[in-house]
Structures are given as C-alpha cells and as structure tokens.
Amino acid sequence: VTDLPHVGFLRGATLAGTIEQLQRRGAVPYAGGTDLLVELSERRERSAAIRLLVDIKQIPEARGIEQVNGWLRVGALSTASDLMYSDPVRRHAPALAEAAALTAAPALRRRGTLGGNLCTPHPAGDVATALLALDASVEIAGVAGSRLARVAEILGAGHGPRTDEVILAARVYEGERSAFEKFGPRLTFCRAIVAAAVCRRGQAIAVALAGVAPHPIRARHAERALMEGTPLQAALLHDCVPADDEAASSTYRLRLAVALLQRCVKRIDSKGLVHG
Ligand SMILES: Cc1cc2nc3c(=O)[nH]c(=O)nc-3n(C[C@H](O)[C@H](O)[C@H](O)COP(=O)(O)OP(=O)(O)OC[C@H]3O[C@@H](n4cnc5c(N)ncnc54)[C@H](O)[C@@H]3O)c2cc1C
C-alpha cells in the first residue's frame, strides 16, 4: 500500500478492539488483501472512500475449522489453501474444498480468505458459490453483537456486511454430498466464465451458479428440473439472464452451466473424488 499515502493501516488484536477501529471513518476490514489491494491500486469507485485498512488476521474468533453439534464451523480467515487441504472440509463439504482448490493460483490461495470471497461482489466467487449450494449460515460481528445470516442474503453489491462488521465464520451442515465445477479461459489465475456447485440434501438438491448473474445465485428452477428430470437449459432461463460479453455469449454461458451441473450431479452420485 506504499503508493497510497492517504490510506492508513492498523492491526486489530482482539475482536472488540477490531470492531472499535472499524467505527472510524473510511475504515474497512483487511484480510488476505488479494481483492482489496487490487481495488485500491486500480482506484475503483468504492476505494476513494477508504482511509484505513484494519487487519483482522489476528482475531481468534475468525480462525480455525471445527465440528460443532452437527455443523462444520469454518473460520472466515481460512484461506483457500486451508480449505482445500482440510480433512473435515473435504469429508463434509467437498464442494467447498473443490472450489478452494480451483481458486486463482497457489500464491493467491495461500492469502485469499473465505470471508474476503464473500465480501467482494463479483459474478464468479468460487468459495461463495460453493457456500451458497451448501446453504451456509454466516456469523457476523458488529457493535451491536453477533448475528447469523444466510449466505444468500449477503451476496451481491449492497447486501454484504457493513464495513464496520466482521464475518467470523461460515457454518455448513456435516456429511452432505456436494461437488463444484468451474470453466474458465485457463486453469489458474482466472475467475470462472461459469462455475456450478450442487449439494444433495436427502431427497432435495441445491444448485448454485457463478458467472451467469452479477453475483453467485441459487438456481431454484434448475433444482426443480434436476429433481423432476425435466430439461435443464429451459429451467435455467427462468433463473438467470447471463451476460453477453467479450468472455462468452449468453447462450454459451447457459450451455456451460448445463454441462457443469450435469458433471456435478454425476460425480455426487458416483461419489467422485475431490479435485487437486
Ligand atoms: C489474479 C487474481 C485471481 C483471482 N482468481 C480468483 C478465482 O479464481 N476465484 C475467486 O473466487 N476469486 C479469485 N480472486 C479474488 C480473491 O483472491 C478472492 O476473492 C479472495 O477470497 C479474497 O479474500 P481476501 O482475504 O484476499 O480479501 P481482501 O482483499 O482482504 O478483502 C476483500 C473484501 O472483503 C472484505 N473482508 C475481508 N474479510 C472480511 C471479513 N472477515 N469480514 C468482513 N469483511 C471482510 C474487505 O474489507 C474487502 O472489502 C482472484 C484475485 C486475483 C488478484
């Protein structure tokens, strides 16, 4: 951040201390910095208001991966590397491990965190997409105390936690069968053109897609089509209107979504192995 002299940097050692620092004008949480530093250096719109980065990496409540009463509690500071190599994540939430393994490239995976992926409004957040299919709940701490939100409620510009709040963890159910698939212009350093995550929950099936809307979405019509065996592409037309841009046409994105969803279902039903 050396060429941004107007931006200060502080390290929060405790949760209470960090939340206090975040009340200052222009303060934002800083985790791995892989999105935030790019945003600042490219001087994107929101970055003009940022005056203080509050490093949240020391907060104990946002660390670790543990099993609690039928839940897997995944600390928001878990990096993509932590997720892809975690035995409980691979066992209980394979889609999350797979999404992490296909995120960016090794150096970025060692820094980029789960919390940061949820807070960056982007069409193709891999970890966020997996958490959406897993129907994760998110623990958020602020001056008024802690609250729980569904991941679907906080994705997208203007819906995330306030900048004076900190995501502490995501909670997912244990023991569900899930899978994640991604297609991009190349295997590393790239956001997906389209990504898909599927989770089987008893007789029900949950579907999340990235790259077909301004942020990852639950595709409820696709879920019904998969359960009823009706045409998937027609159902997807009710879930999203993918962008036509230089990366791909809208039709191509829809076809990709169908192919990736079918791959996920096939792997779940044949207990496919985790990528990476
Ligand atoms: C070259 C490149 C390739 C990339 N490829 C991919 C990819 O393939 N897939 C993908 O999904 N992403 C990709 N990314 C994006 C990025 O690496 C991820 O989104 C990463 O998970 C962000 O986490 P972070 O800890 O670095 O977030 P930061 O940059 O530290 O923060 C991002 C935002 O989240 C907020 N924030 C961070 N943590 C918290 C928290 N716990 N509570 C509240 N707010 C918080 C910050 O204030 C900021 O607004 C790529 C980035 C780059 C630069």
Enumerate residues 6+ apart whose C-beta is below 8 A from 203. Answer: 227
Q: What whole-number distance in Å separates Cα of residue 83 and Cα of residue 97? A: 5
pLDDT confidence tier of residue 274, bands split at 50, 70 and 90? very low
Residue 136 CB burial class (10 angstroms; 0-12, 13-18, ≥19): buried
CA of 8 to the centre of ligand 1 (A): 19
Out of 34, 126, 188, give the residue to mutate to test ligand 1, the one with the largest number of ligand atoms within 8 Å of its CB: 34
CA of 231 to the centre of ligand 1 (A): 35
Residues 51-59 have a mean pLDDT of: 96
Whole-number pLDDT of residue 222: 98
The 10s digit of each residue's pLDDT in 102-122 is 999 999 999 999 999 999 878
Q: Whose C-alpha lies nearest to ligand 1, atom 1?
A: 189
| Contact residues of ligand 1, CB 6 A cut-off | 28-36, 38, 56, 62, 76, 103-104, 108, 111-113, 115-117, 119-120, 125-127, 161, 166-167, 189-191
- b/e for 50-81, b at 16 or more Cβ within 10 A? bebbbbbbebebbbebeeeeebbbbbbbbbbb
Query: Residue 190 has which token pair?
Result: 């790239």
Ligand 1, residue 210: give the atom nearest the CA.
11
The 10s digit of each residue's pLDDT in 175-227 is 889 999 999 887 677 889 999 999 998 889 999 999 999 999 999 999 999 99
The 10s digit of each residue's pLDDT in 128-171 is 999 999 999 999 999 999 999 999 999 977 788 999 999 999 99
Count of Cβ atoms closer than 10 Å to residue 34 Cβ: 21
SS3 for the chain is CCCCCCCEEEECCCHHHHHHHHCCCCEEEECCCCCHHHHHHCCCHHHHHCCEEEECCCCHHHCCEEEECCEEEEECCCEHHHHHHCHHHHHHCHHHHHHHHCCCCHHHHCCCEHHHHHHCCCCCCHHHHHHHHCCCEEEEEECCEEEEEEHHHHCCCCCCCCCCCEEEEEEEECCCEEEEEEECCCCCCCCCCEEEEEEEECCEEEEEEECCCCCCEECHHHHHHHHHCCCHHHHHHHHCCCCCCCCCCHHHHHHHHHHHHHHHHHHHHCCCCCCC
Q: Whose C-alpha lies nearest to ligand 1, atom 38?
A: 116
More confident residue, 13 or 139: 139
